[in-house]
Structure 1
Amino acid sequence: MRHTGAVANATGLVVGYALDAAFGDPRRGHPVSGFGRAAAALERRLYRPDRLAGGIFTAVCVGVPVAIGVAATVGTRHRPVARAALVAVGTWAVLGGRSLRHEAKSMGRSLRGGDLPAARQRLGHLCGRDPSTLDEPEIARATVESVAENTSDAVVAPLFWGAVAGLPGLLGYRAANTLDAMVGHRNIRYARFGTPAARLDDLLNLVPARLTGLLTVALASVGKGDRERAWRVWRRDRDDHPSPNAGQCEAAMAGALGVRLGGRNVYFGRTEARPFLGDGPRPEARHLVRAARISRAVGLTALGIAAVYPLTAGRLIGAAARRTRQALPTPRALPTPRRMLAQGALPTSGGLRGLRMLRTWGRR
């Protein structure tokens, strides 16, 4: 039965990825949008400028989707087809690979056509920077950085947690990541309230971000890049970024494309100066298509890993459990007073009386 559940989870991940690749995000009634509205309403009730209120807010907003996922998983433990269908729908709802690649390619077309107003307008779909003063290389840089980071956030990380924890992992991760986008900002309002959500998102992305960086290096040739250069830049620059996870993805993408990322980022009301990642020139429009290709290859490879993991992990755990049961003594193999008498382990004189005493002592 455990193996059947693993097969259902793996099947659901594959089908959900295929649905996202074929149809992308639904234009209306997206579950993540509904979750965002509910979280915003709860924030209005719970907001206080302290971490305790932020912790309660984060616990409720993440705990409810996880509880729903657990209930659905328990309710379908004897119905593998239903479980696979639920995991497929959940995977489709939380993935954003097709939309990410579509935005990158559309941005590339706008930049190649010299339509800076359209490119600036599209940038809001990818990141929260102020595009009003950005030129073509800066818009291209912002797009490449967003593709690199969101390949982890919107593709690899959901698949990772879906493989590890099934439907609860999918829903819980997307809830935490959405909260980080909503309240995980370094401004006056969210400096303390948003800290729990930001830290939870950092924790959940520790492994997926590093896996994304490693896969980006390994698949650099898909975007006409150099694996050796990508490996060198990734190892050298990945820890220079202020984020513990974004630097993993952006440094690998900078090395894979042979460009330089980082620098001065202008947001609405604040400016951040970030270290440079990579050695090459500033990105151009042609690099956006290459970044989208690498992102797609990374997503497909992560899907393969995520689909295989539940099957292999379930078998390994089952084999370990069987070996443990075999190593433990069975009830028949446990020594009894009568057997101990027969084997001479107890004094023979007064054997029956000793046996009665042992039985009486055992009842106490």
Structure 2
Amino acid sequence: MTIELIDEIILTLLIAFLIDGFIGEPPNKIHPVVQIGKIIDTVTKFTKNISHKKGENFEKFMGSILAIGLPSMVGLIVYLISVQSFHILGTVIFIILSSIILKASFSIRAMDIHINDVITELDNHNLDMARKKLAKIVSRETSTLSESKILSACIECVAESFVDGVLSPLFYYGFLNTAGAMAYRTSNTLDSMIAYKEEYYMHYGWMAAKLDTIMNFVPARISPAFLIPAIIICRKDWKNAVMILKRDRNKVESFNAGIPMAIMAGGLNIQLEKTNHYKLGDMNEELSIQRCKISLKITKIAAAICVIGFVIPITVILNYLGWWNVFFGF
């Protein structure tokens, strides 16, 4: 039996974006990613101390089970929900459930809100509060940052989040539907929670860090295809974005984050700096609140280009090849 699912897949994608734009994040009590975080926290507390006593190799082994097992389990559960909802509950319920699940895997509005909260404090010349609000979205020490360093951190966060918060989940949705998007989001959540390079997580979070790097590898490298056209649309310096991308993308310790960050630095003609770690771009223009706002605009346009120019075409091609009938068991 052959059933055309492409309309439902595309409609799910569009509804998920509408949910993100007009509603935003669900309450923490029912947010799937928050619940996944609680599972990670519980499992880590239970297994970390036990594995630590048995040596670093066993600690890596236990951390690897969590890093591989949890995304696989989440992906499988979401896959079963998707398939069964379509077969048993029908098209409408399938679209509603899929849209809600997909929305949980990415976030554009939340980043916009967080960055604008910091910008508002800077506008009000409240540097201490701006530092505190920035600390909610970055891992670096913020208590002594100047206004320019705060703006740099904001723009870096916006650029990096385009890949791991938007492009990557959409990439995996394009090939593996909501199961792929949520498996990725689980892996990324593991990375953010247990893949710190501090001593406590050095071995336990090793596999989580590796898998997140692997899963972001392709999305990070196709991100210029969406960010650079967005920079052109915003009438910023796309040629400099390409130049800085080539020159500075490897200056960041992260294997993937340097790509979108270098593009943003070049496109805005600014220098992004994390003290004692890296400098991306040239200070041709001063860091400003206006440029921070433009970075948000660039990523929103890039997300739209990604959906229209990549995700939808990929799902259509896979539909033509019969992939979705195989995937959903028809």
1:94: how far off?
A: 1.6
1:297 to 287, 295, 301: 301
Q: CA deviation at 1:303?
A: 1.9
Structure 2 equivalent of residue 330 of structure 1: none
Task: Give the corresponding residue for 1:59.
Answer: 68
CA distance in structure 2 between the aligned counterparts of 1:144 and 1:2, rounded to whole angstroms: 47
- Give the alignment partner of residue 277 of structure 2, picking from 249, 264, 274: 274
Structure 2 counterpart of 1:311: 316
* Deviation by residue 1:185-208 (Cα, 9 ceiling, x = unmatched): 101011111011111111111111
For 1:10, give the aligned amino acid: I
5+ residue gaps in structure 2?
53-58
> Cα RMSD (Å) of the superposition?
1.9
Return the letter of the residue paired with 1:123. L
Relative to the length of structure 2, the TM-score reads: 0.88
User: Which stretches in structure 1 are left out of the alignment for 5+ residues?
Assistant: 265-272, 322-364
Identity of aligned residues (%): 25
Paired position in structure 1 for 2:5: 5
TM superposition shift of 1:314: 1.8
Task: Provide the rounded CA distance (Å) in 2 between the counterparts of 1:187 and 1:3.
Answer: 51
Q: Which amino acid aligns with 1:183?
A: I
How many angstroms apart in 1 are the aligned matches of 2:296 and 2:184?
Answer: 23
Instruction: Name the residue aligned to 2:42.
Output: 41
Query: Equivalent residues in 2 for 1:333-344 (5 A)?
Result: none
- State the 1:254 CA deviation: 0.5
Whole-angstrom distance in 2 between the partners of 1:308 and 1:58: 31
Which residue of the other structure, out of 95, 108, 120, is the alignment partner of 1:84? 95
Q: Alpha carbons of 1:2 and 1:72: their partners in 2 closer, same or farther (altered >3 Å)?
A: farther
Letter in 2 for 1:226: D
8 Å CA contact 1:224–1:257 kept in 2: the answer is: no
Please tell me whether the aligned partners of residues 265 and 280 of structure 2 are also in contact (alpha carbons under 8 angstroms).
yes
> Aligned to 1:241, which of 252, 257, 262?
252
The structural deviation recorded for 1:3 is 5.7
Structure 1 residue 45: deviation in Å? 1.6
Query: How far apart are residue 228 of structure 1 and its match?
Result: 0.9
Q: Supply the distance in 2 between the matched residues of 1:53 and 1:97 (Cα, whole angstroms).
A: 33
Alpha-carbon shift at residue 28 of structure 1 (Å): 3.5
Does the aligned pair in 1 maintain the 2:82–2:98 contact within 8 Å? no
Deviation at 1:42, TM superposition (A): 0.9
Do the aligned residues in 2 keep the contact of 1:180 with 1:198 (CA within 8 Å)? yes
Q: 2:5–2:319: 8 Å Cα contact kept in structure 1?
A: no
1:250 to 256, 261, 265: 261
- Secondary structure of residue in 2 paired with 1:243: coil
CA distance in 2, matches of 1:255, 1:3: 46
Q: Hey, what does 1:70 align to over in structure 2?
A: 79
Q: Which of 138, 156, 166 pairs up with 1:155?
A: 166
Q: How many residues are paired up?
A: 311
Question: How far 1:253 moved relative to its partner?
Answer: 0.7
Which residue does the alignment assign to 1:17? Answer: 17
SS in 1 for 2:255: coil
**What is the letter of the counterpart of residue 47 of structure 2?**
L
Corresponding residue of 2:56: none
Whether the 8 Å CA contact 2:273–2:279 is kept in 1: the answer is: yes
Structure-1 separation of matches of 2:13 and 2:245:
29
Could you tell me the TM-score, scaled by structure 1's length? 0.81
| 1:27–1:85 distance in 2 versus 1, CA, 3 Å | closer
